[in-house]
Amino acid sequence: MKNVKFYVLVVIFVVFSCESEQKNILVFSYSLQNDSIQKLKLNINKKGDLKIFKYQYSQDSIKSIDLKYNLDRDFLITDIDTFLVQKNPYKSKSLAFKMYQTKEVTSHNRALVFNESYGLLASLAVGADFIFLKDSLANNDKNVIFKEIFLNLNKVNIE
């Protein structure tokens, strides 16, 4: 009887721990500045009230993007900054993404376009604009997505 209880507990533990982790999801990174495409691996873990998104570049194992999403208070933390949610979401064909900007708005504004289920869609900063997609994309489609995101970001900054 003790063995049955033990195995039931192990099965329950495995089921619940697997729900909070997603490993090695292939993501494509597209730059606005050039036509290069980089492959990344996305790993998602949940620890307490944080959901951690780690994007690891395939070509350079040292280079990575680490995001911590606070589930309770709806903000993002990177290695160097904190991003607060803005009013206007960006709506793609299938998902609504929230726009996040740094706490202090400067002349070089930084923004992240993010969805709790999907992860990071775009990182926008002066000279470092990227979109992150789980599917490959034609160059014209990439430019359309960038244009839509920038128009939406301008709405946020005007209001």
Contacts of 46 (CB under 8 A, 6+ apart): 20, 21, 52
**Which is higher by pLDDT, 47 or 2?**
47
Number of domains in the chain: 1
* In a domain? residue 37: yes
* In a domain? residue 136: yes
Average pLDDT of span 59-88: 90
92-106 pLDDT, tens digit per residue, is 988 999 999 987 766
* In a domain? residue 14: no
Instruction: Check pLDDT > 90 for residue 128.
Output: no
> Residue 119 in contact with residue 132, Cβ under 8 Å?
yes
Q: What CA–CA distance (Å, rounded) separates 82 from 110?
A: 10
Contacts of 92 (CB under 8 A, 6+ apart): 121, 145
Tokens encoding 15? 């089921």
> Residue 115 in contact with residue 123, Cβ under 8 Å?
no
Q: What CA–CA distance (Å, rounded) separates 86 from 103?
A: 11
pTM across the whole model: 0.79
Confidence of residue 91 (pLDDT cuts 50, 70, 90): very high
Q: What CA–CA distance (Å, rounded) separates 125 from 106?
A: 11
Tokens encoding 92? 């793609």
The confidence score (pLDDT) of residue 15 equals: 41
* In a domain? residue 3: no
104-122 pLDDT, tens digit per residue, is 766 677 899 999 999 999 9
* In a domain? residue 79: yes
64-76 pLDDT, tens digit per residue, is 899 999 999 999 9
How does the average pLDDT of the chain come out, rounded?
83
33-58 pLDDT, tens digit per residue, is 888 899 999 999 999 999 999 999 98
Vertex 120: Cα angle to 21 and 48 (nearest 5): 40
Domain holding 31, by residue range, is: 22-158
* In a domain? residue 91: yes
* In a domain? residue 77: yes
The confidence score (pLDDT) of residue 6 equals: 40
* In a domain? residue 98: yes
